[in-house]
Every structure is written in structure tokens, then in C-alpha cells.
Amino acid sequence: MKYTEKNNTIILKELDSFNIEQILECGQCFRFEKIDNMKYEIIAYGKILNIEQSSNGVKLYPCNENEFKNIWYNYFDLERDYSHVKETITKNDDVMKKACEFAPGIRILNQEPWECLISFIISQNNRIPMIKQVIKNISKMYGNEIENERYMFPTVDELRVSDISGLEKCKSGFRAKYILDAVEKVGSGKIDLENLKNFDTNKIKEELLDIKGVGPKVSDCILLFSFGRCEVFPTDVWIKRIMEHFYFNEETTSIPKIHEKAKMKFGKYAGFAQQYLFHYARTILKK
């Protein structure tokens, strides 16, 4: 990958395994709007970022070199060699080959832990368009306006003024009480998300599971999407279905068995495998 900067715009070239549509629409992230074909607006790390991809490369704006190095380089996981990841997980695996060919431009974003935690609490028993709407509502009601009706996701302290009825007005439904429990535990310092980074995966998971509304799947999403633990294999209904269909040839299987198989087949890259599979499954199994 090479980049140049001019007029507060970063242009990325010779970028391998990068398709902004696949990256954003594959279900890992909720804070973006499609502006046009291969043209999106993202809100993350307190910034609004426009991103536009064409055969000439990927344009990021407004963005200077400092912001690119300090935020977006890591956000888009640009350090990682995704060809190597795909080579590894597709070895002797025709299903994974198809999943990777279906969306070879997926990358796992590195998202902010607090926003990720609340987002995936909201995700339970919900649909992606609805999840996006609830997060947008919460940001508008409790977060700072960056500019022009674009709002930051509220900090823990900003959400401490919220209550059940406010969060229900944001359409969070029965998850409002879960959000409040997360606010209480993180806001009081009982759980220190920044400090958790340094702990091993099982320890982080144990801490996250202490929050009401956070179970095995939600905690795995946070581990994968915010703590860079790419060996975890978040298993939702779609992953369960496609694993049962292609890897077990059975109607039903238990989640521990799925995790066991994922670890055996994909090892330390199971998280990537999960994301290729998720996006693939949602398109082909959705009759």
C-alpha cells in the first residue's frame, strides 16, 4: 500500500484486499451511510470520514497525514496481509474458498470498544437496519454534534444521564436496561475497557460477560471487532446455519461443536473466516 496527501485528502494506492462496500456492508459496523456506488460516509473516533473507491484508488477526506496514521490506518487494519489470511483459511476448504471469492475485499475493522459494546448489546435479536437506527437515535439524543446533524456516539459519561424511558425513545426496546447496566459498570470503573486491552482473551471475556445483556456471542464480537482477538468465532444464527449446512451436514449442532470445528479448521484466523462466512451465508441462505 502507498499513500499520498494533498488538499486534506489521502489517496491510497496498490491496496490489496480492500473493497469499501464489502467492508462496511458485511455486518461488522453500523455507523456509516451509503452516499453513492462505492462512496460512503463513516463516523468513528469523533470524526466524519468520506471514503470513495475507484480504479484510481481509495480517497479519504477530510483527512490529513496525522489522522491517517493515528486513526484510519489502524481502523482499516491496513497493516495486515489479508492474502496470507485467505490463503491460510482456504487451504483444503472449498466452502471457505467460495466465501472468500464472494467478498475478497472484506477486512476486519478496529472499532472503539465502548461504542462496539453498546452496538452489539443492541444487536441481539434485532436486524441490521434497526440496529443502525437505534445507534443513530442514541447518538443524536446523547452525543455531541460534530457538524451538520452528524453526531458522535456518546461517551460513557454522556450516557450516564440517560434512563430507561430515554433509551426506549431511541427504540432500544427491552435492551434499554442492558445498556444502563453497561453504563453503570463501565462508568463506575468496575470495568475499565481501556485497561482490558492488555489482558488475555479469556479474562476480557469474563469481564464482559458480567454485563447484563452480554452473552457469549456479543462478547465475541467485541473481542473480534474492538480488541483485535481474531481467533474468536462469534456464532449467531447465520453462522450456525451455514456451519450446520456445509461443515456438519446436520440439521442442528451445538455451539461448542461449532467452535471446536472452527478452531480446528481456521485456528488463529477463525475471526476472519467467520466474517467471510457471515456475509456469504446471509446472501446465499436468504432464499
| Spatial distance between the Cα atoms of 287 and 283, rounded to a whole number of angstroms | 8
Q: Which of 27, 105, 187, 228 is in the footprint of DNA by CB under 7 A?
A: 27
- Cβ proximity of 58 and 66 under 8 Å: no
Q: Which of 66, 125, 148, 198 is in the footprint of DNA by CB under 7 A?
A: 125
> How far from 198 is each of 24, 193, 258, CA to CA, in Å?
27, 10, 28
| Minimum separation from the CB atom of position 81 to DNA (A) | 21
| Minimum separation from the CB atom of position 197 to DNA (A) | 21
By beta-carbon proximity to DNA, the closer residue of 124 and 201 is 124
| Minimum separation from the CB atom of position 158 to DNA (A) | 22
| Spatial distance between the Cα atoms of 159 and 53, rounded to a whole number of angstroms | 35
| Minimum separation from the CB atom of position 30 to DNA (A) | 9
Span near DNA by CB under 7 A; candidates 72-80, 89-97, 122-130, 191-199: 122-130
| Minimum separation from the CB atom of position 248 to DNA (A) | 16
- Cβ proximity of 43 and 5 under 8 Å: no
Residues between 229 and 258 that touch DNA (CB under 7 A): 234-239
Helix (H, G, I), strand (E, B) or coil at 36: strand
DSSP structural state of residue 68: I
| Spatial distance between the Cα atoms of 114 and 182, rounded to a whole number of angstroms | 9
| Spatial distance between the Cα atoms of 219 and 208, rounded to a whole number of angstroms | 6
Residues lying near DNA in the complex (CB under 7 A) are found at 26-28, 123-130, 168, 171, 173-174, 211-219, 221, 234-239, 274-275, 278, 282
